[in-house]
Amino acid sequence: MSLTLSNQSRRTIGSLVPEELLPPLGLLSIGGPLIDAGHYLCFLNADIAPMTRPAIIADLLRKRPDAILIRHPGFTSAHPTVVAMARLIRVKPCQTSPLST
C-alpha cells in the first residue's frame, strides 16, 4: 500500500523552541514500522517552508497514495488547519477518488 504521512503547515503564537522547527516525531515513529510491514511511504513536511494549502493538495494529488495520514499535533491552533486539509482531500466511498485522476 502506498501511504503519505502529512505534517501540516501551522503557525502558533508562541513556540516551545523559538526559531526552531521540531520534527514530527509521531509520524517518524510510525514510519519505520510501516516500511518494515512492506508499505511504500512518502513523507510531506509542509511545516518547513511553510507550504500553502493549494501547494500541499497539489503535492498530495501528485503522489497519488492509497491513503493519507494527517498529523494532528494536539495543539488548539493546529486543529483548523488539520480539519480544512482533511475536508479538501476527503473522498466519500461512493465517489471516484480524486487521487486516481
Read off the pLDDT of residues 22-44 as tens digits, 9 standing for 90 and up: 677 888 899 999 999 999 999 88
Low-confidence residues of the chain: pLDDT under 50: 93-98, 100-101
Q: Grid coordinates 513523507 are at which residue? A: 43
- Per-domain residue ranges of the chain: 44-101
DSSP string of 36-61, one letter each residue: HTT-EEEEEETTTTTPPHHHHHHHHH
pTM of the complete model: 0.71
